[in-house]
Structure 1
């Protein structure tokens, strides 16, 4: 199916389309089933494991978590190859048939209370999920347009964690019921059949590498698959960031049952409540991503997410002092104890900031990876996710089972570790920190309204021209456009503290007059020409300096020189409402007085592209003036 043939939909509008809704419900029901099964099993282990095995429940729970993720490490390379080689809707239907068979066996194991069989089936469930993962994330960009990618991933993220919430509640409630094993068996079988029925509505997603020769050697193919992810450095570091998120997620989700029983002194109902709060948080955070990112892949949300994960992870360590109780508390008794609401709020906020963190990274990997090997990159992501979750399990066994540090200290170590990992990633790929600074600027000091930005081509070379009002005009444009832009910046502004970091990270091109510095002048034109030959997007401010009266100055003829050398379309832009802000020169030098304006409404408008043979400085100035109108 050709995604460009469709009008772009919002994240909720996608639920009315055949190219997304059947897939959404298929993955939703699959995640629901996984969590009914897993939560029921974990609660059985936490509260009844002692009568089946002569092992501490901390060790059993971490072993169960490791058993579920082991297949991701073993089979992800093969799963990625298969997903790239074959048509994806057919693969999904076959994987759902596997789920039906596994859940049929699970029904018998629940009915006969066979914990050993449930452990084996947990491994098989992990294997089924391993083969579904690469198909799940590589089919999204085949059916959705670039403008729908964040919304689609947000809906999948929200759906996954809502299904975790509902599955967690269902599994936790059913395992405590009389004849709970029978109810659990009937539920997982029914849901597996419903997921298969939903999968039959998924449109065809053609093979992207039909001539690929499969290699089933797990060791050599695993290393080769990771190599696909390493082709693009920023993609590989994003994969590592995603894997770290799953390390954090596994650390919290795996320990919550024993955290509830040992530290919070709560019963099985409190376990369900805590897992629910965490899942609700991630669902809300995922849905907020489309709104906060302006329907584009916004890496600026990733540092924001990591900051929140650490702050509220540390607060979770500080939040609760267990009361002296002899029996485990119900939900109502727990909520009445001091610190309980703080624990719940921490878990919700950890989830929300986790959504901010993971959705943009998933969308970024899908967007920046070539379609021909996208599923294998996602498979590499799953391999590394599994490795990090195994490390989380090993750390849990070591710190809790061997060193007996206690779960609150374990959560503290994880939150502090997140600070170190984030600092490393953002130092190696400063684009994340740069996008965060831009996002903060455009969502605190200003409220930016966009109009006509679809006029900017999605690919290929083009030049953007805009009026020049403030020192942060480039940041406003960069924060609004989906594509990376290389800005041509007046050299003294390029050298300004803080802005220099942003401009260097964004590969801006400094320029000055030929009289002032001919070397910088000529080098700038060479860099502009090379960037356009490479298919990049260039933005410049033809006025050459900030306006001192809010009006648009004469456009200099340098734009004509650029287009004569590289005849590409020129898209006029106009910034509106920036005059009088802190960074403008109204009433004197910029950034020397408080303007009194905060969270101001400003606009960015794009006009129709001007073809190369019609480009003149005067014509472009008139186009920008018309777009701006009377609002300076």
Structure 2
């Protein structure tokens, strides 16, 4: 699998997607730390602004994904990738100004711009991958994407949090993000040229009608419908768990923020390990059998996590990471979380490969865009559930367990979804 990193067609896109994920999270977390700890003294107002920032970054996925997918099918994808990464540079210049000046409007404007660019980059990178790789290498390429994206997210989160807290931190964080954006653009310039698959496609400016048309075209396929549902269910579970992780660690486990960081790192590393294992399992084939294994693994992990989480902290003081690791009972929680992440890596790689391989080449970017739209909708639904269900007596661990059981129900129909390419 790692031999793909010597492929001069694949490597530029791999570098660009890694740096893009890293930069998004670096800037988002630098913004959050600056707003919460320096710019807004009122804790409630700061928390509200942090939530608004997350919403503003995700919102373009609802409104612009269909247009982005159509544009990616209409234009040569390599050229479009270069343009997207080039436009990121002025967006980061705006972000640098916002960080240095402490201007919330400039910061939020840059964040919206980066959200729009991420919306356009996602369908083009996933639909370009089958054009750059041989069919027997597609699963390996997706495994590398999945394994390294979560590592990039983790690194970007840590960098954004720590750099902005240094002396002259806003300058350091902003210039670092700007430098990463330039490197990503330079990597894209090394992509081999590609041709447009549907240059006759019309771009529609009515985003509601366009979103409906693109989603309806993709979801008309039973296979793609199951694949999109499976991917979106995973992201809904992940959004609920990761958004509520600080509260679970503090209020149910009774541990401090170091333990939150530990679990985030564990999740990223576990996804990377699971994706790598799945890449080995597939051995060049596009098949869905590992999806069922991953779904059952995640269902088991969430159910045992539900059983293992204490009802309330055993101590009034928060436990630091060394003391948390020294307590033997906590290793059950660590094992559950690691199993959930590794199984998640095994689960997602075949689904993304099936999405790319079963979509028609001339509509592949729109299929990825549909997946992004449904992902965003279900992540929003899961997040809303964490706010509404407690009034019905359903706790966050209850919701996580229910979503895990839903994966168990999806395991069999997803595992039956046939692949396209045989083993070479």
Shift of 1:336: 3.2
CA–CA separation in structure 2 for the residues paired with 1:241 and 1:335: 34
Q: Say if 1:170 and 1:46 are closer, same or farther in 2 by CA, change over 3 A.
A: same
Q: Deviations over 1:28-47 (max 9, x none)?
A: 00001111223344556777
Aligned CA RMSD, in angstroms, stands at: 2.8
Aligned counterpart, 2:370: 380
Aligned counterpart, 1:222: 211
Given candidates 128, 133, 136, the residue that maps to 1:139 is 128
CA–CA separation in structure 1 for the residues paired with 2:287 and 2:253: 38
Q: Say if 1:290 and 1:273 are closer, same or farther in 2 by CA, change over 3 A.
A: same
Which structure 2 segments of 5+ residues have no match?
none
CA–CA separation in structure 1 for the residues paired with 2:267 and 2:151: 10
Aligned counterpart, 2:181: 192
* Superposition pairs of residues 307-318 of structure 1, within 5 angstroms: 307-318=296-307
Given candidates 391, 394, 404, the residue that maps to 1:418 is 404
Indicate the structure (1 or 2) with the bigger Cα radius of gyration: 1
CA–CA separation in structure 2 for the residues paired with 1:113 and 1:220: 39
CA–CA separation in structure 1 for the residues paired with 2:392 and 2:112: 27
* Superposition pairs of residues 106-505 of structure 1, within 5 angstroms: 106-115=95-104, 117-321=106-310, 322-326=313-317, 328-337=318-327, 339-399=329-389, 403=391, 409-420=395-406, 422-423=408-409, 426-427=412-413, 431-432=416-417, 481-482=422-423
Higher relative strand content: 1
CA–CA separation in structure 2 for the residues paired with 1:178 and 1:145: 48
Q: Say if 1:404 and 1:265 are closer, same or farther in 2 by CA, change over 3 A.
A: farther
* 2:26 corresponds to 1:36: yes
TM-score w.r.t. length of structure 2: 0.90
Shift of 1:63: 4.2
Shift of 1:217: 1.1
Q: How many residues are paired up?
A: 422
Contact 1:92 1:132 in 2 (8 A): yes
Aligned counterpart, 2:13: 23
Contact 1:257 1:271 in 2 (8 A): yes
* Superposition pairs of residues 2-13 of structure 1, within 5 angstroms: 11-13=1-3
Q: Deviations over 1:58-96 (max 9, x none)?
A: x66554433321110100010001100111111111111
Q: Secondary structure at the match of 1:148?
A: helix
Contact 1:66 1:390 in 2 (8 A): no
CA–CA separation in structure 2 for the residues paired with 1:74 and 1:207: 24
Contact 2:288 2:415 in 1 (8 A): no
Contact 1:76 1:383 in 2 (8 A): yes
Which structure 1 segments of 5+ residues have no match?
1-10, 436-457, 460-480, 484-632
Q: Deviations over 1:457-496 (max 9, x none)?
A: x98xxxxxxxxxxxxxxxxxxxxx549xxxxxxxxxxxxx
CA–CA separation in structure 2 for the residues paired with 1:285 and 1:117: 39
CA–CA separation in structure 1 for the residues paired with 2:136 and 2:77: 22
CA–CA separation in structure 2 for the residues paired with 1:343 and 1:43: 28
CA–CA separation in structure 2 for the residues paired with 1:147 and 1:363: 11
TM-score w.r.t. length of structure 1: 0.62
Q: Secondary structure at the match of 1:51?
A: coil
Contact 2:82 2:185 in 1 (8 A): yes
Shift of 1:267: 4.3
Shift of 1:277: 0.9
Q: Secondary structure at the match of 2:44?
A: coil
CA–CA separation in structure 1 for the residues paired with 2:335 and 2:173: 30
Q: Secondary structure at the match of 1:208?
A: coil
CA–CA separation in structure 1 for the residues paired with 2:385 and 2:71: 33
Q: Which runs of 4+ in 1 moved over 6 A?
A: 45-50
Shift of 1:287: 0.9
Aligned counterpart, 1:66: 55
CA–CA separation in structure 2 for the residues paired with 1:67 and 1:347: 29
CA–CA separation in structure 1 for the residues paired with 2:69 and 2:126: 11
Q: Say if 1:388 and 1:145 are closer, same or farther in 2 by CA, change over 3 A.
A: same
CA–CA separation in structure 2 for the residues paired with 1:124 and 1:52: 27
